Amino acid sequence: MRVFWADESGLPASDRGLAYGDGLFETIRVEGAGAPLLAYHLDRLVTDARRLGIPVQKAELARVCEEAVSRWCDEGPRWVLKLVLTRGGGGRGYRPADRIEPNLLVARASAPERPAPEGVIAGFSRVPLTVNPLFAGIKSLNRLEQVMAAREISGDHFELLMANAAGHIVEGTRTNLFVATDNGWLTPPLESVAVAGIMRRLVIESLQKAGQALTETPVLPEHLSPGVCAGLYLTNSVLGVVGVRRLAGQDLPVDQRLATICRSHIAMD
């Protein structure tokens, strides 16, 4: 694996990630001298790389992350480490070369502002979300649907939710979602989501440990109506758990219970 530091050089023009989106990426929240969810990120990166046939070792990635934290630790107490892993270069057209030497681009970015604790405003995107079952959940470099949906975000909207062709509400442009109801929690099934988020995994594990009822099921628009929805929460590994106080002009209840459940298992602040 060849490592490129973004503050020194970019990926070569022959890189297949640049040419075809042939790769994966992770955005990792760093606080102080560590990254609370690093093990989750590396697990996903290695697992998804295996699904795409990109050879990479977890121990090697961990060493790069350790070096990155040491390299940039003096630039702020809270920031975001981004890893872009590609298949490398080589091959004719879409077909990759038989011998693969992956490229890893390592970059640092400032952490976004934390959302308001009283909740955020969200709406619905007009861009449909299509998930190929072969790539369901993989955080690949192919994110054009999310890019186009994110272009619709304006004004005081924090996020827009995206629906698939069946009309099921699947996820936000950068978040997974959980719905609180009187009968327990709902979240879209893994096979329907474009990105199986790190916080999605953590929330599911935390709810199970707390003995909370959780059902992975298609989320319908009626599940988000004020009479049914007892809380809508968006999750993202950089932002944590974000409550939605207003969705498409309708007020929703919001509290800190989901964040509190997760905080009992890992630091969220």
Q: Is residue 174 part of a domain?
A: yes
* Banded model confidence at residue 265, pLDDT cuts 50, 70, 90: low
Domain stop point among 110, 133, 157: 110
Q: What is the span of the domain harbouring residue 162? A: 120-263
Mean pLDDT taken over the chain: 93
Among candidate residues 86, 171, 175, 187, the one labeled active-site is 171
Catalytic residue flag (residue 58):
no
CATH number, domain containing residue 202 = 3.20.10.10
Same domain (yes/no): 101, 124 = no
Catalytic residue flag (residue 130):
no
221: left (phi over 0), alpha (psi -120 to 50) or beta: alpha
Catalytic residue flag (residue 222):
no
Same domain (yes/no): 88, 179 = no
pLDDT tens-digit series, residues 174-209: 999 999 999 999 999 999 999 999 999 999 999 999
pLDDT in the model for residue 264: 59
Q: Is residue 64 part of a domain?
A: yes
Q: Give the number of domains in the chain.
A: 2
Domain stop point among 110, 135, 161: 110
DSSP 3-state of 193 = coil
DSSP 3-state of 215 = strand
Among candidate residues 86, 139, 173, 175, the one labeled active-site is 139
Dist CA 252 CA 135 (whole Å): 33
Q: Taking 50 as the threshold, does the pLDDT of residue 253 lie above it?
A: yes
Same domain (yes/no): 128, 250 = yes
Domain stop point among 110, 140, 158: 110
Dist CA 111 CA 81 (whole Å): 9
Same domain (yes/no): 76, 135 = no
Q: Is residue 129 part of a domain?
A: yes
pLDDT in the model for residue 226: 84
* Banded model confidence at residue 211, pLDDT cuts 50, 70, 90: very high
Q: To the nearest whole percent, how much of the chain has pLDDT over 90?
A: 82
Q: Taking 70 as the threshold, does the pLDDT of residue 156 lie above it?
A: yes
Q: Is residue 268 part of a domain?
A: no
Same domain (yes/no): 145, 227 = yes
Same domain (yes/no): 149, 197 = yes
Same domain (yes/no): 148, 259 = yes
| 17 to 102, 103, 140, 231: CA distances (angstroms) | 10, 9, 10, 38
pLDDT in the model for residue 266: 52
Cα angle 4, 139, 211; round to 5: 125
Report residue 38: phi and psi, to 5°.
-60, -45
Same domain (yes/no): 90, 204 = no
Strand partners for 169: 163, 219
pLDDT in the model for residue 268: 43
Q: Is residue 115 part of a domain?
A: no
Same domain (yes/no): 255, 126 = yes
Same domain (yes/no): 137, 61 = no
pLDDT tens-digit series, residues 66-121: 999 999 988 778 999 999 999 999 878 899 988 999 999 999 999 999 888 899 99
β-pairing verdict for 169-172 and 157-163: antiparallel
Dist CA 136 CA 235 (whole Å): 18
CATH number, domain containing residue 33 = 3.30.470.10
Q: Is residue 55 part of a domain?
A: yes
Same domain (yes/no): 83, 162 = no
Which tokens is 47 given?
């697992």
Same domain (yes/no): 133, 251 = yes
pLDDT tens-digit series, residues 166-175: 999 999 999 9
pLDDT in the model for residue 230: 92
